[in-house]
Amino acid sequence: MITNRTAPRLAAVAALAAALSAGPVQSALADGRAGSHPVSAGKTVAAAGAAEPDKANKADRFRDDKGGWKGDGLSLNAADNKKVDEFLARARSAEQTVSPEMQAVARISHATLIGFDHRLKSPDSLKRKVATAMKETPGQTVDATLARISDSVRYTLQWPDGSYTNGVTIASSALSLWGNDSVKWANTWGRKHGYKAINAAWRDPHSRHVFEVQFHTPSSKWAQEATHKLYEEQRLPTTSPERARELQEQQNAIFESVPVPDGAEDLTLPAAPAQGRQEPARTLPAPVDQPAAAA
């Protein structure tokens, strides 16, 4: 179930998607790199051409002479490394379909699409994640590990606190309406400690590849960026339990300062559409200017 205020918005999304059908999708992008303060991070969506995925085709820095991969005390043998490379190729192919849809979602919901240049997870980052998971779960195959990966293609949508609940409702409803199958919905706004946001994942109906969408406010995105290095260190196999607890406490302190938008704790996965997939709108109206986020 979703909030009682959802029905009119669902109808609006459906009407807009059905009514607009000509011309290319206009890009809705914004650069959301680390270091932005919450006060300045809430930008109006800007129209621009789609950038090439950062590092998507860059040579694997940790490939060994036998075709395997090594890095940060982790490793993949040649056969497993090849399967990850094939998975990365499928991710690059799926991105070509998913990105225009996400740009349309950003327009419809008046969101800022953060970090679009980094929509593809880099080879080293994905291999580090796969190798870590396999080390933590002895006996788990690379195929089983890859089946659990949801962020090889990933996007971040951001709204000011006052627009967040409406924006998430519209964006998630549009993705569902367009035939994407939900595989994950993690709303952590109600948790007492740690990360605050909504992390969701859908399966693209064309490629059947899973992609991730994070729903943030400027403050929650700032906190995520501020804690990123702490989280990465915490996940390393060389990090001691004592240090891991210390790193978690530091992350908790940062996220405790993040305001919770009204209604965010109650946001749940939209219901699947009763009818078949509707194609995304091809031409979308310019977004309404968003007010600056409160300090």
Q: What is the pLDDT of residues 114-146, one digit of tens each?
A: 999 999 999 999 999 999 999 999 999 999 999
When pLDDT is averaged across residues 258-269 and rounded to a whole number, the result is 97
Does residue 72 come out as left (phi exceeding 0), alpha (psi in the -120 to 50 range) or beta? left
When pLDDT is averaged across residues 204-216 and rounded to a whole number, the result is 98
Residue located via tokens 């996007």: 155
Using the predicted structure, report yes or no on whether residue 172 has a pLDDT greater than 60: yes
Using the predicted structure, report yes or no on whether residue 181 has a pLDDT greater than 60: yes
- The top-scoring range by mean pLDDT among 5-9, 16-20, 188-192 is 188-192
| Residue 284 backbone phi and psi in degrees, to 5 | -125, 150
In this predicted model, which residue has the larger pLDDT, 55 or 256?
256
Confidence band, pLDDT 50/70/90 cuts, at residue 34: very low
When pLDDT is averaged across residues 80-86 and rounded to a whole number, the result is 97
8 A C-beta contact, residue 115 and residue 156: yes
212: three-class secondary structure by DSSP: strand
pLDDT at residue 237, as a whole number: 82
Q: Against a cut of 0.85, is the pTM above it? A: no
When pLDDT is averaged across residues 52-81 and rounded to a whole number, the result is 73
Please provide the distance, in angstroms rounded to a whole number, between the alpha carbons at the two ends of the chain.
32
pLDDT at residue 291, as a whole number: 38
Closest CA to 80 of 70, 72, 68: 68
Residues 6+ apart with CB under 8 A from 176: 182, 202, 270, 271, 272, 273
Q: Is 85 exposed, middle or buried (0-12, 13-18, 19+ CB in 10 A)?
A: middle
pLDDT at residue 63, as a whole number: 66
pLDDT averaged over every residue in the chain: 80
When pLDDT is averaged across residues 231-251 and rounded to a whole number, the result is 93
- Residues comprising the chain, all counted: 295
Q: Is 84 exposed, middle or buried (0-12, 13-18, 19+ CB in 10 A)?
A: buried
Using the predicted structure, report yes or no on whether residue 160 has a pLDDT greater than 60: yes
In this predicted model, which residue has the larger pLDDT, 251 or 17?
251
Q: CA-to-CA distance for 172 and 166, rounded, in angstroms?
A: 10
pLDDT at residue 66, as a whole number: 80
Does residue 139 come out as left (phi exceeding 0), alpha (psi in the -120 to 50 range) or beta? left
8 A C-beta contact, residue 47 and residue 27: yes
pLDDT at residue 280, as a whole number: 52
pLDDT at residue 235, as a whole number: 85
8 A C-beta contact, residue 201 and residue 149: no
